[in-house]
Amino acid sequence: IVNAPRGAVQSPDDVFEVFYIDYGNQEAIPYSRLRPLDPSVSSAPGLAQLCSLAYIKVPTLEEDFGHEAAQYLSECTLGSSKELMARVEDRDTSGGKVKGQGTGTVLIVTLVDAEEDSSINAAMLR
């Protein structure tokens, strides 16, 4: 059992941009912190899934209110101890690379608070 996150290297310089395939985040890592991965672990597919919120258009960080939307979504998800359920509404199989998040099918989801049956998607519209 390996007790280290798996990641795909995005850009080799003095510092490497690593995308964690089991968590979905990325981080700049100096060469001194990189370690080889055992082949038995590297052959397993990543656990993180690309997702997009269903039925709403969230502004990008470059658009008006983009930073506010990102902050609110972060507070509702990462900054909360609530259990959330992702209800898959659709799948976008058009492919392509989502900047900093890998490639593949994007799951179009509604995030629901498991206890209150309230939608994060609806809360984003307020």
**Does residue 17 sit in the same domain as residue 61?**
no
The answer to whether residue 117 scores a pLDDT higher than 80 is no
**Does residue 35 sit in the same domain as residue 67?**
no
| Residue 21 belongs to domain spanning | 7-42
Q: Which residues contact 46 (CB under 8 A, 6 or more apart)?
A: 6, 21, 22, 102
**Does residue 57 sit in the same domain as residue 104?**
yes
**Does residue 113 sit in the same domain as residue 95?**
yes
**Does residue 17 sit in the same domain as residue 67?**
no
* Each residue's pLDDT tens digit, 45-58: 888 888 899 999 98
**Does residue 20 sit in the same domain as residue 74?**
no
Q: Is the pTM of this model over 0.75?
A: no
Query: What is the pLDDT at residue 3?
Result: 61
Residues in the chain: 126
1 lies in some domain: no
Give the residues across from 110 on adjacent strands.
87
**Count of beta carbons in the 10 Å neighbourhood of residue 32:** 6
102 lies in some domain: yes
| Number of compact structural domains in the chain | 2
